[in-house]
Amino acid sequence: MVKSKNIFVKVFSYILVGILTVLLVISLGGTSFMDKAALDQTTIAVVNGEKVSIYDFNHFINTDQRFYNRIDDINSDEQMRNYVRSVYIQRVLTIQYAEKIGIVVVGDQVLNYIRSLSNLSDDDGKFSTERLNQLLKYYNISYTQFFKRTKDILILRELDHLIVNGTGVSPDEIRMEKSARGSKITLRYAFLSNSELKKRYPERLAVSVSEIEAEVKNIQESMSDPLDDSESLQKQSRISLESRKLAELKAELLSQINKLALENRPFSDGVALLDVTVGESQPFQIGNPVYSTDEKTGLLLDLYTNNVFYEDSLKVKEGLLARGVDVSNGLYIFTPKEKIISFDKDAEITQYDSYQTHQARSAFVENAMLSPFFEKSRVVRNY
């Protein structure tokens, strides 16, 4: 994890970076031909062999308190929709992990929970089948789907109870979390896209016929039941080789950027190295989404979900180059333009402050437990 001596950086890295780790992990899963064959228009992903239904995903958006009042934004912004898809896939992985470690919810527990829901009770406080049917009709789901989703909720609750009962936070950590909610940061950033890299380095990234043939042979040897589909194999091999060469190029550029950052060089040196245009973020609080002032760019999703971004946005001085950030579609560099973060070691701690920090720490512990499982999981996205 982070090895900063700065207590502010260290604590927030533990609390915040863990919450977002899974969004990076699930983007790393490889794709086999058999996995792809399981995808269709009603499936947004296949998670460890389990199909994730688009209908379940849409129900999640319509009922989750984080998203149901932003449905128009999610439907109109593909980047935002992909973020919500990632959150939902994380949920599926978490349920799978809970079941793997032995958390069991039986049918009677689900039925008792459904019967206890106040919105399914009549005026006398008794369970109402009529109201249940109205709810199913409103969300356009079957009772079987509703039962399964309710069971998933109870499994997640059991896992949460397991984690919360073993999690504690110190007064300083509570004050750190309170400071984060009052923070304000503005960034200057620049982005070099993968497509621009391909234009600048065509020869470096070119893939030869002999390389493709060698890759096809490697794929066939690794498959227990080799496919007799040369066109698909060649296409997959080309994509794999191109991705590998691009990753190597990005790693070299990242190394050069990080060398400048370690030397405390100004942000302008990084801009000159990559020959990119500088943008600016809107003011944001630690832990909240980061948006560009350029409306066309919008949400800086891949940047703000990165652990390097969190640590360096806190510790790097205004105007100096932070470490580079390698994201799925390019490279980011940035520097804090304005940073307002106050920490009062004697600040009064309220019950709400304690609750907020406890929730953040529980989220980190949960992700720390889940990460090994996620890293071994296969997630094939259909978007």
CATH at residue 140: 1.10.4030.10
Q: Give the pLDDT mean for 298-314.
A: 77
Same domain assignment for residues 211 and 235: yes
Query: What does the DSSP assignment read for 153-204?
Result: HHHHHHHHHHHHTT----HHHHHHHHHHHT-EEEEEEEEEEHHHHHHH-HHH
Same domain assignment for residues 150 and 226: no
Residue 209 lies in a domain: yes
Same domain assignment for residues 320 and 351: no
Alpha carbon separation from 200 to 156, 273, 274, 330 (Å, rounded): 47, 13, 11, 13
Same domain assignment for residues 318 and 354: no
Q: In this structure, are residues 374 and 22 in contact, taking their beta carbons and an 8 Å threshold? A: yes
pLDDT, tens only, 140-157? 888 988 999 899 999 988
- 358 pLDDT exceeds 60? no
Q: How many domains does the chain contain in total?
A: 2
pLDDT in the model for residue 285: 78
Same domain assignment for residues 162 and 75: yes
pLDDT in the model for residue 39: 60
Same domain assignment for residues 357 and 330: no
Residue 12 lies in a domain: yes
Residue 2 lies in a domain: no
Q: Give the pLDDT mean for 68-85.
A: 79
Residue 197 lies in a domain: yes
Q: Which residues contact 150 (CB under 8 A, 6 or more apart)?
A: 110, 113, 114
**Tally of residues, the chain:** 383
Q: Tell me which residue range forms the domain holding 327.
A: 183-340
Same domain assignment for residues 333 and 352: no
For residue 379, give both structure tokens: 């997630």
Of 325, 340, 355, which residue sits at a domain end? Answer: 340
pLDDT in the model for residue 19: 41
User: Cβ atoms within 10 A of the Cβ of 265, count?
Assistant: 15
* pTM of the entire predicted model: 0.51
Rounded to whole angstroms, how far apart are CA atoms 297 and 303? 12
